[in-house]
Chain A
Amino acid sequence: MARLPTTELRKYLLTGQFTRRGCLHLRPSPLAPPIPPLRTLSTTPPTPSDQQPQIIPLRKQLKDQAKAAKLSGSPKKKLKKSDNQTVPGWDLTVGIEIHAQLNTPSKLFSPASTPSSSSDDAVHHHHPNTHVAPFDLAIPGSQPSFQPTTLIPAIRAALALNCHIEPISRFDRKHYFHWDQPSGYQITQYYHPFARSGSVTLYPRDGIAAEDGEQVTVGIKQLQMEQDTAKTLAQPNSTHYLDFNRVGVPLVEIITEPCIHRPATAAAFVRKVQMLLKSVDACTSGLEQGGLRADVNVSVKRTGEEELGTRTEIKNLSSFKAVEDAIIAERDRQIRVLEEGGRIEGETRGWSLGSMETRRLRGKEGEVDYRYMPDPDLGPVVIGGDLVERLGETMGMLPDEEVGVLMGRFGLSERDAMALMLMEGRLEYFYGVLEELERMLGVEAVEGGEQRHAMLAANWCLHELGKLAEAEEVGEAAAEEVTSQVPEQDLAAILFYLHQKKVTAKVAKDLLWDVFRGTIATGGVTEQIDSQDLWYKEITEADYAAIADEVIEGQEKVLQDFLKFKQGKSKAYPQGKLGFLVGKMMRAGPEQGKGMDPASAERVMRVRIEQVYLPRLEDAQ
């Protein structure tokens, strides 16, 4: 039985919706592709040179990086990253701050709904300035009204990160001027956060550097709640539109201790936090969709020195690769400066995709004094132990446990298990398909530790769907949307027939494409097979024999190899030669092997060789 994921539960309980495909499901309209946010989760004043770091789809980003690398024309072969985790004689220290959009129905201090909560209407939720209360616009005289429901995903996030929940936390105002911050300050919790002293343990499968061994634990200093900013939409003629939908949406900021020493481990940490937050349904979307944002603090010191070096901060990293690359680049820059006898300035730096160096954004003298002040309108947040206990009990499975289940119960490889968990919504989709498939297979087939169907489902959810996403016609934006184009029940039906050998693998793949392209209506897989007569009807044993005979005609040389084996003149059975003959059989069969099973063909071929042809050859000798 598949586990009901928390995301499903929340959608059902809070908005009365199922994402299971059905008449309620709304496919994303091709007319309203999701607009990538121009500036996300920036909770600090952007510097003039970095006002709108763009969210670029990963695919494009990789292309751009390749292009940039080509342009830079560096003749030197680049170091492989796995070889670049340490620099002899130097110690690296990294601390990370992650901002994640909390998955809540309302904003932090106003009853306005969050843009991400209104999944009922894909078009509507991108309409600018439709999720705004007076307080969100800083209308004079309006006051904050803390929405207690925002605590639920926040506490879940803290529990997933092993934090201690503080019974009393407080909100401060952090001041800076920017047009995307209507009140001139952000309400945040820096001094009295709601959670402290957490930790995340990383394993090799999470992608930590080999130097970190079998596991590494990253300490979490605190988690704090704060408000998101508005979105700036650049227009022609140096005009900017402001969309206040996102203003005041609750964020959780996760601050680690400075205890990471390898770049790959830093990236692995961010990836794992994303996975943890997702598994407890605490955040809206991942790093590469703009729902998460990472800043890294980097310092180096010579090995053996006691004190940490001066640190610099690299802001707004929007991919796991960027986290690792930026740390490597900044580490190398700092070492270069120190080796040349220079000094590291405490400053804020930026990183663009595909570049080789971090760049200076502002120095200490350019730092804003945030003038933190307790918000006089807001009382302390008091979190009861009973709430924390209840949320802890109902949190469900955390990723490390889930990987164990996927590997142990379903026989997935560690790699596939991790891949399912890391892809947006893919794990839930897999469970959905599996549940449907198991229903069709019936109880007997599923019990008794049989794993073949689960492995089949996982393989298709990852690799065959992956092929759809890579197809030219899909385009970059839709890569994540593949699952929404292939209803779970239809994939399950295809897999059921494939598993039962009622259709061939080739037919199954064609059916998948038809479902994906919409040529098969939802629920119409069986009908399609019927009408197109795609059922696998195996040819008779005699037909196989006839084809085998046809193929062997004139292959005396090949048969000699089988004879040598039979007579003990060669040690290995000529499996390759057999495969060659079976291949010929498949091609020679009716309509390119229609109705033929390669296994049957191989079996018949083997029998014919041993029982008919070899005796003939022996006789001839």
Chain B
Amino acid sequence: MLSRSGLRGARLRVVSLTSQRRLLNHFITHPPEPIPPPPPPAPSSSPSPKQFTLAVKDNIATTIPGLPTTCASGILSKSYVSPIEATIITQLRARGAVITGKTNLDEFGMGSHSIYSHYGPVSQDTPPETSAGGSSGGSAVAVANGEVELALGTDTGGSVRLPAAYTGIIGYKPSYGMISRYGVIPYANSLDTVGFLSKQINPLKELIIGERGLWKEHDSNDPTSLTTAARKRCAAQRRGYRSRQGQTTELEGLKFGIPLEYNIAELDPEIRDAWAAAAKRLQDAGARIVPVSLPTTKHALAAYYVIAPAEASSNLAKYDGVRYGARDAEGASDASAGGVLYASTRGKGFGEEVKRRILLGSYTLSSEAMDNYFIKAQRVRRLVRRDFNRVFALENPLQERETFELSDLPEEVEMEDKWGPEEVDFLLCPTAPTLAPKLKGVMEQQPVDAYMNDVFTVPASLAGLPAISVPMKVATEGAAGLQLIGQYWDDARLLDVADAVAKEVRT
């Protein structure tokens, strides 16, 4: 993807950007020389893959000396070099990735603006004014700034799509279980996916569904990675995997659903207009635009903010400074006084937002609150998935087919025939309800207000569906994201169609 001279050019640009980088604060670790991929195992019959530059979100484990894995948290600190390499890093390095550094994020991925970092907030402009989105804000800025061709992020409830929308690039969250999470430091395991950020869709297509497509690779280290047999079974029910020949990106005849429930009061009018304009353009290009109903949408955000912190409170219990990471050696040990030895290590190591979510999660899992929060949220999660299964023409290959009561649908939904409303290929909606906000305003916000930004991205995460955010032109200056959501394992077609949609709505 990058020729030799191109790589040299990238290096030159790196030097000239040093001062700007300090202001943007999008890297946590940025070695002076990028790290080339390991030589292919000898004897190698195939030629070395073309190299490309890659920035890695700092919650993805790397074993390379000088590249600590901090999760932007004080509790791991820059002294922590992981003993295990994330599978996605191994896979990308084998495909020619030249790693330029580890990017800044919201601590452990918890945030929507990349401001809750032990290493300071990220901005997408200089002087620092505008939010880069979060939590993969550092990765998004590295791409938007032209420093790398591809960046790795993680997406738990929108952490790749939201910064992509705010910075005007492409952010793609694959189907849950497609890309190995081994070595991706978990925030909420049942929602976490590796995500990809790029200015172009082609490199993503190459990576996911190209000749050495990642979609084929099961990882036995990740128990949630789909088995090879399941991958084949899912792909057999989809288009775009087996043969890449003759894949057209025709919009003609495709059906896009507009979720009625996404037209919320908080939606910025400018974005609502852009969304409508985008739908119009697709219609003009021959696509059908169909209003659909996802009735559980209004509960999805609440369910997300119960499930994700609950899993986070559990995942983060391991950080105690005993085996790795920072340890508060100054405070007296509370071990003998009925404490747990490392209360002060955890107290000092974690940032505010992480502590907030640990407390929230600890409460919702407590025996007193479990039934009312965690169990109910799981129920909502199932309903969200059901909503999606109902509107998509394709079936979810991981689930039994369900039947639906037509009487449950809102009245606005038009029936296609006596069997029910029209079923769609993809959902079309904004990625975020507003344009990229100013950092000043964000920092003054109540934490719960920031949770609002995830309202359109969380449902796909809860259902494990593939989703992609492409840049969409808005009337005034600035960028907004247009999100496409597909049925499970429809990633190949989603990437193809996103390419076509992006061309329609870019200008």
A residues with a Cβ closer than 8 A to B are 47-48, 134, 137-146, 173, 175, 177-179, 182-185, 242, 369-373, 376-379
| Closest A-B pairs by Cβ, 6 of them | A184-B317, A371-B365, A376-B190, A177-B340, A376-B189, A138-B318
Contact B311 A373 (CB under 8 A): yes
Contact B186 A184 (CB under 8 A): no
**What are 22 A-B residue pairs whose CB atoms fall within 8 Å in the complex?**
A48-B335, A48-B337, A140-B69, A140-B76, A140-B186, A140-B319, A141-B84, A141-B86, A141-B183, A142-B84, A145-B223, A175-B317, A177-B320, A177-B342, A179-B340, A179-B342, A183-B318, A369-B367, A369-B368, A376-B311, A377-B189, A379-B223
Within 8 A of A (CB), among B206-238: 220-224
Contact A377 B320 (CB under 8 A): no
Contact B83 A373 (CB under 8 A): no
Contact of A144 among B223, B317, B367, B374 (CB under 8 A): B223
Contact A139 B324 (CB under 8 A): yes
Bound CA span A242–B183, Å: 24
Bound CA span A139–B85, Å: 11
A51 — nearest CB in chain B belongs to which residue? Answer: B335
A609 smallest CB distance to B (angstroms): 81
A250 smallest CB distance to B (angstroms): 16
Query: B71 interface residue, CB < 8 Å from A?
Result: yes
Contact of A134 among B83, B316, B342, B362 (CB under 8 A): B83
Contact A185 B223 (CB under 8 A): no
Contact of A141 among B82, B220, B316, B340 (CB under 8 A): B82
Contact B83 A139 (CB under 8 A): yes
Residues in A with CB closer than 8 Å to B314 are 173, 175, 184-185, 371, 373
Query: B338 interface residue, CB < 8 Å from A?
Result: yes
A362 — nearest CB in chain B belongs to which residue? Answer: B338
Residues in B with CB closer than 8 Å to A373 are 310-311, 314, 365, 374
With a 10 A CB-CB cut-off, give which of A47, A175, A182, A377 has the most chain B CB atoms: A377
Say whether, besides A48-B336, A185-B314, A138 and B323 are in contact (CB < 8 Å).
yes
Q: How many A-B residue pairs have CB under 8 A?
A: 106
Bound CA span A134–B336, Å: 29
A sample of 7 more A-B contacts (CB under 8 A), given A48-B336, A177-B342, is: A47-B338, A140-B185, A141-B60, A141-B182, A373-B310, A373-B374, A376-B224
Contact of B362 among A47, A146, A371, A377 (CB under 8 A): A371
Say whether, besides A145-B220, A377-B189, A140 and B61 are in contact (CB < 8 Å).
yes
B364 — nearest CB in chain A belongs to which residue? Answer: A371
Say whether, besides A140-B76, A369-B366, A183 and B317 are in contact (CB < 8 Å).
yes
Over the window 304-346 of chain B, the binary record of Cβ atoms lying under 8 Å from chain A Cβ atoms (1 yes, 0 no) is: 0000001101101111101110000000000111101110000
Contact A182 B340 (CB under 8 A): no
B464 smallest CB distance to A (angstroms): 12
Residues in B with CB closer than 8 Å to A173 are 314
Contact B318 A182 (CB under 8 A): yes
A478 smallest CB distance to B (angstroms): 36
Query: B184 interface residue, CB < 8 Å from A?
Result: yes
A133 smallest CB distance to B (angstroms): 10
A378 — nearest CB in chain B belongs to which residue? Answer: B223
With a 10 A CB-CB cut-off, give which of B69, B314, B316, B368 has the most chain A CB atoms: B314
Contact of A140 among B71, B322, B341 (CB under 8 A): B71
Within 8 A of A (CB), among B161-202: 181-186, 188-190
B223 smallest CB distance to A (angstroms): 5
Contact A376 B221 (CB under 8 A): no
Contact B367 A143 (CB under 8 A): no
Bound CA span A47–B181, Å: 36
A227 smallest CB distance to B (angstroms): 14
Say whether, besides A369-B366, A376-B188, A178 and B340 are in contact (CB < 8 Å).
yes
Bound CA span A370–B368, Å: 11
B416 smallest CB distance to A (angstroms): 37
Prevailing SS type, chain A contact patch? loop
Residues in A with CB closer than 8 Å to B316 are 184
Over the window 287-319 of chain B, the binary record of Cβ atoms lying under 8 Å from chain A Cβ atoms (1 yes, 0 no) is: 000000000000000000000001101101111
Contact A141 B184 (CB under 8 A): yes
Contact B185 A372 (CB under 8 A): no
A183 — nearest CB in chain B belongs to which residue? Answer: B318
Contact of A142 among B182, B220, B341, B367 (CB under 8 A): B182
Bound CA span A248–B86, Å: 22
Bound CA span A140–B374, Å: 24
Contact A141 B317 (CB under 8 A): no
Residues in B with CB closer than 8 Å to A370 are 367
A376 smallest CB distance to B (angstroms): 4
Residues in A with CB closer than 8 Å to B324 are 139-140
Residues in B with CB closer than 8 Å to A369 are 366-368
B307 — nearest CB in chain A belongs to which residue? Answer: A376
Contact of B221 among A138, A140, A145, A183 (CB under 8 A): A145
Residues in A with CB closer than 8 Å to B83 are 134, 139
B390 smallest CB distance to A (angstroms): 25
B191 — nearest CB in chain A belongs to which residue? Answer: A376
A144 — nearest CB in chain B belongs to which residue? Answer: B223
A142 — nearest CB in chain B belongs to which residue? Answer: B84
Contact A139 B322 (CB under 8 A): no
Residues in B with CB closer than 8 Å to A139 are 82-84, 324
A367 — nearest CB in chain B belongs to which residue? Answer: B367
With a 10 A CB-CB cut-off, give which of B184, B317, B366 has the most chain A CB atoms: B317
Bound CA span A184–B319, Å: 8
With a 10 A CB-CB cut-off, give which of A137, A141, A143, A377 has the most chain B CB atoms: A141
Bound CA span A601–B60, Å: 89
Residues in B with CB closer than 8 Å to A242 are 322
Contact B317 A179 (CB under 8 A): no
Residues in A with CB closer than 8 Å to B311 are 373, 376
B58 smallest CB distance to A (angstroms): 12
Residues in B with CB closer than 8 Å to A184 are 314, 316-318, 320
Bound CA span A370–B317, Å: 12
Contact A143 B318 (CB under 8 A): no
Within 8 A of A (CB), among B23-63: 60-61
Contact A141 B185 (CB under 8 A): yes
Residues in A with CB closer than 8 Å to B71 are 140
Contact B322 A179 (CB under 8 A): yes
Bound CA span A138–B320, Å: 11
Residues in A with CB closer than 8 Å to B69 are 140-141
Bound CA span A47–B335, Å: 10
Over the window 76-88 of chain B, the binary record of Cβ atoms lying under 8 Å from chain A Cβ atoms (1 yes, 0 no) is: 1000001110100
Contact B182 A48 (CB under 8 A): no
Residues in A with CB closer than 8 Å to B181 are 143
Contact A182 B323 (CB under 8 A): yes
With a 10 A CB-CB cut-off, give which of B84, B181, B362 has the most chain A CB atoms: B84
With a 10 A CB-CB cut-off, give which of A178, A184, A376, A379 has the most chain B CB atoms: A376
Contact of B223 among A134, A146, A183, A372 (CB under 8 A): A146
Residues in A with CB closer than 8 Å to B185 are 140-141
Bound CA span A137–B322, Å: 10
Contact A377 B82 (CB under 8 A): no
Contact of A48 among B189, B220, B224, B338 (CB under 8 A): B338
Bound CA span A539–B362, Å: 87
A574 smallest CB distance to B (angstroms): 76
With a 10 A CB-CB cut-off, give which of B184, B316, B323 has the most chain A CB atoms: B323
Contact A179 B61 (CB under 8 A): no
Residues in A with CB closer than 8 Å to B323 are 137-138, 182
Bound CA span A575–B366, Å: 80
A459 smallest CB distance to B (angstroms): 53
Bound CA span A47–B337, Å: 10
Bound CA span A373–B364, Å: 10
Residues in A with CB closer than 8 Å to B189 are 376-377
Bound CA span A378–B190, Å: 10
Contact A179 B221 (CB under 8 A): no
Contact B223 A140 (CB under 8 A): no
Bound CA span A182–B338, Å: 19
B188 — nearest CB in chain A belongs to which residue? Answer: A376
Residues in B with CB closer than 8 Å to A185 are 314, 317
Contact B186 A141 (CB under 8 A): yes
A382 smallest CB distance to B (angstroms): 14
